[in-house]
Chains A and B, each alone.
Chain A
Amino acid sequence: MASRTTLYQQVVEVTADVLGPAAERFVARQIENHLNKPPEKLTRSDLEELVDWIKLAISMLTDDQTLVDAYGKRILELAKKR
């Protein structure tokens, strides 16, 4: 049976649509710097706080607020998935 991807990997996958090859480095950095935990330890309860930090960081890279909001929404939807 194939192993499921971790929540961290799912967040990276969603982020890759925005940041491409830089996605994993970006997400790992946000989790380590703002949540003070290893990326692999990311839990669904962390997602709401993580999204705030991620949206803040992405807003510094683009003026497209629609993109930022859509990206944040996709990350939050991961909290609902099992």
Chain B
Amino acid sequence: MYKRIIYLMFTDLLIYIVLSFSALNHQEVLQKYRISSLQLRLLNLMVAIPIMIIWGFAVYGYVRFRDYAQGIKGNNDGLALTAIADGIGIMAFGGLLVACVNAFIRNLTVNNDQLLPRATVLRNYLSMLVVLAAFSLTYYGTGRLRQILKRPAKQRAYMVTLAIYIVFAAGYMVLALIDVTRDKNEGIFSTASHYLPWWVVVLTIVFPYLYAWYAGLLSAMRINYYRRHVKGVIYRQALGYLAWGIGIVIVITLVGQYLGSLSETLEKMSLVSLLQLLYVILLTYGIGFYLIARGAKQLKKIEEV
């Protein structure tokens, strides 16, 4: 099964590389950053190659984690960890799928403006569904871990998580509701965000994102709580890497999603700043998945000795 997963990953990555390098270029992009067509293609590669490497880490981390969780799936902690592993897997593969779809849409719509609204709607719903599915599974899995502890998290932990969530959610709601370009576009470069009525956007995209982010933040809190309070000195040490990795992946996914809603701000940034931001996000993502793989390997060793 894991060979198929790895084969699928390499196929997706290859498709993404081909789409990125062969992308047709918007003239407005070339003019804004004052670069040639070839430079833009090379720039696409400078983005695509780190993404490839990080996704390699992501798949490796997911495969290791799932392998461990499947080995103990007949137990309560196994069931919980399998659900979390699947959520992490959806984040990894879903992210790659969305990137491929984005690259395909970019190519498709550069000379076909009439396709832009439908393509944008498809991309937005696909991104939302990936995040919703991923965080719903991690939320379910971490809920089961909480039952294993048989002790509820302290009120303070919930309050801190809730406070962070409220800040995130409020900011996102404001950005979503005042986004004047959500159903209009001004030229090819300044594209609209949604091409849907505001109430459809709120009900079918904003609200699911708000739930997904709530589930994601709570999952990160719960896994951290489990890590700190579960019995077993050696088990806790091994779990530490896994829990930190899961927490990092969840939080950086949330940050990436949030930044995606700041499209107008991002468009004003210089190329160098955009690349730096992207690399920081990718690097953090990669570290998260590396920790997941390392933690899973150590936990698996406990099941093998």
Residues of A within 8 A of B (CB): 16-23, 25-26, 57-58, 60-62, 67
Contact = CB atoms under 8 A, between A and B. Distances in A.
Interface in B225-246: 230-237, 239
Interface in B212-234: 230-234
B205 interface: no
Nearest to B145: A21
A16 B232 contact: yes
Nearest to A56: B305
Contact of B235 (A21, A60, A67): A21
B179 interface: no
Contacts of B301: 60-61
Given A16-B232, A18-B235, A21-B77, A57 B305 contact: yes
Contacts of B305: 26, 57-58, 60-61
B273 interface: no
Interface in B60-116: 72, 75-77
Interface in B252-286: none
B75 A18 contact: no
- Chain A interface mostly helix, strand, loop or mixed? helix
Nearest to A54: B305
B234 A25 contact: no
Contacts of A61: 234, 301-302, 305
Contacts of B232: 16-23
Contacts of A17: 231-233
17 contacts: A18-B234, A18-B235, A20-B231, A20-B232, A20-B235, A21-B148, A21-B231, A21-B232, A21-B235, A23-B232, A25-B72, A25-B303, A58-B305, A60-B301, A61-B305, A67-B233, A67-B234
B79 to A, nearest CB: 11
Nearest to B71: A25
A25 B235 contact: no
B75 A58 contact: no
A19 B239 CA distance: 11
A17 B230 CA distance: 10
5 closest Cβ pairs, A-B complex: A20-B232, A20-B235, A57-B305, A21-B77, A20-B231
Given A21-B75, A21-B148, A26 B231 contact: no
A18 B236 CA distance: 9
Contacts of A60: 301, 305
A25 B235 CA distance: 13
A26 B72 CA distance: 11
Nearest to B233: A18
Contacts of B75: 21, 25
A33 to B, nearest CB: 10
Most buried by B among A17, A22, A58: A22
A57 B305 CA distance: 6
A21 B234 contact: no
A26 to B, nearest CB: 7
A68 to B, nearest CB: 10
Contacts of B302: 19, 22, 26, 61
A19 B235 CA distance: 5
Nearest to B302: A22
Most buried by A among B76, B236, B237, B302: B302
A22 B234 CA distance: 10
